[in-house]
Amino acid sequence: MKFIRHLSIKYKLTLLVLMISMVSIVIGFSIIIINDIIRLREDLVNKTQLDASVVGEYCVGPLEFDDKDGLKDLLGKLRSIPTIENAWVYIENGEHYGTYDRVSTTLVPPPPPGDDDLHEFRGDYLHVARPISHDDKKLGTIYFRASTSQLRERTNIRIFWLVILMAGSILLSYVLALRFQRIISKPILELAEVTGKISHDVDYSIRVQREDKDEIGTLYNGFNNMLEKIQLWEKKRDEAEAEQRRLLMELESKNKELEQVVYVTSHDLRSPLVNIQGFGQELSYSIKEVDSLLAGLDADTKGIKDEISVIIREDVLESLKFIESSTTKMDGLLSGLLRLSRVGRMTTGFENVDMNNLMKEVSNAFEFHFKEAGASLEVQPLPACYGSELEINQVFSNLVGNAIKYRDPGRTLLVKISEKKSDDSGSVVYCVEDNGVGIPEEYQSKIFQIFHRLKPDDSEGEGLGLAIAHKIVHRHKGTVKVESKPGKGSKFFITLPRAS
């Protein structure tokens, strides 16, 4: 039955109609055949009984006058009835009196039937008995043995024609089913064809046409409505996508512009800054010279000398010290900006990166720092990723460097680098974990911002390491996240594209 499920709807319908008509035709014709057989048998019984009664009446004379020859002649006339094979006449006391055999035979006359009104089919013969009586006085019994071969012949002929008729009816229902199934299957097949065309061409402007008011008409209308909605939705989506693309391009160009501005300003601002630093130093040498010249002047100018000396030491030299420290700070900030804007400018191309090798390089670079801090680094086997080896090295170096910088002096630092299971098969997640001082929750989102430092006076730094790491990972279409508990340690999760 499973194969029916894979048949086309038109064959399913034809098969269904054919099966139903076949069952009805077979049941109908079987009833007709059984009915016919019963009727033919009844006809034979009635006719044989009638013949027995008529012949029985003719037997009255010979029986009353004990005329055996007359009876023999009379029974001989049965030859004209082809179905009667044998006939026997018995007198009242059951004694056999006369016989008729169509074919000369040595058949011993059977005992008289117990029932005078017998009619019974036994094997290929019908046995019929009738009483012989005159003026309400029973004289004997006549007993016929009739052949059923004619009955069988007629039955066979009927069955033959009925089977022919049945085959004809089945053929006719097949032709009709094949023709009329189209009323249902054609629109469904048309709809299926249109659906295939739509999904192949991705063209939602196609519509199906049907005027019918039945369920198939409703299905067609529903299908058209659905297509209309999809088309509308597609139009909106295309518009939104075009707008998104436009905004992205605008954002990209603005970003490039901004990076250019940052690069140019940080680069160009450094030369006037160097001038300020240089001239400031020049100024401080000159002031020191003025101060020593003042020391060589006459004693009678002592009052003025002391005053100028105070101005030089407390005002001018102090101010020059502030100018120097500010320009140094500004230089640091500018070079930080320059470093950040250089991310991606001097990069190598993207390739598959063997992270186990990369981690060996990172661990070698920090070997001295770990020894010095009495700390240890544990690197677990890592899967490869896809990106710029140089930049990824910088990300992990910044994170490991921070773990050393922000270690807790109260316990031995342990840094662990491992892989974290990712839901997305296209990316890998690495985890850099330390047991350092940790980061309070309210600062966790800020540490990736440029120049953001939690305790600027506690350690050296520019607040750039994580901003650079964030920019690099973002360039790789990855993410970097932090989980941290103050006093316990931090975990940095870096998601990068998996090696192809």
3-state DSSP assignment of residue 300:
helix
Could you tell me the smallest distance in angstroms from the CB atom of residue 485 to ligand ADP?
A: 11
Name which of 357 and 449 has its Cβ closer to ligand ADP: 449
490 binds ligand ADP (CB under 6 A): yes
Q: How far apart are CA 431 and CA 400, in angstroms?
A: 11
CB of 432 vs ligand ADP, minimal distance in Å: 8
Give the nearest distance from C-beta 489 to ligand ADP in angstroms: 8
436 touching ligand ADP, by CB under 6 A: yes
Interface residue with ligand ADP among 403, 429, 480, 496 (CB under 6 A) is 403
Q: Which of 413, 417, 439, 473 binds ligand ADP (CB under 6 A)?
A: 439
CB closer to ligand ADP, 436 vs 478: 436
Residues 259-318 interacting with ligand ADP (rule: CB under 6 A): none
Beta strands in 42-172 (DSSP E): 84-91, 96-101, 119-122, 125-134, 137-147
Q: Is 402 in the site for ligand ADP (CB under 6 A)?
A: yes
Nearer to ligand ADP, 270 or 453 (CB): 453
Stretch that binds ligand ADP, among 46-54, 139-147, 275-283, 459-467 (CB under 6 A): 459-467
The binder of ligand ADP chosen from 118, 194, 290, 454 (CB under 6 A): 454
Q: Closer CB to ligand ADP, residue 96 or residue 405?
A: 405
Query: Starting at the edge strand that comes first in sequence, how are the strands of the sheet with 96-101 ordered?
Result: 96-101, 84-91, 137-147, 125-134, 119-122
CB of 404 to ligand ADP, least distance (A): 9
In degrees and rounded to multiples of 5, residue 344 shows phi and psi of 95, -20
Distances, alpha carbon 83 to alpha carbons 48, 126, 262, 341, 419, in Å: 8, 10, 126, 122, 104
For 491, the 3-state DSSP assignment is strand
Angstrom CA distances, 199 to 60, 191, 195, 302, stand at 97, 12, 6, 102
SS3 content of the chain, % helix, strand, coil (to 5): 60, 15, 25
Chosen residue from 55, 384, 447, 494 binding ligand ADP by CB under 6 A = 447
Minimum distance, C-beta of residue 420 to ligand ADP, in the bound complex (Å): 17
- SS3 per residue for 6-35: CCCHHHHHHHHHHHHHHHHHHHHHHHHHHH
Whole-angstrom Cα distance, residue 403 to residue 492?
10
Which residue, 140, 116, 115, is CA-closest to 57? 140
- Binding-site size for ligand ADP (CB under 6 A) equals 22
Residues numbered 460-479 forming contacts with ligand ADP, rule: CB under 6 A: 461-467
Q: Which is nearer to ligand ADP, 18 or 340 (CB)?
A: 340
Cβ partners under 8 Å of residue 279, min gap 6: none
Interaction between residue 13 and ligand ADP (CB under 6 A): no
Site for ligand ADP, rule CB under 6 A: 398, 402-403, 405-406, 434, 436-439, 447, 452-454, 461-467, 490
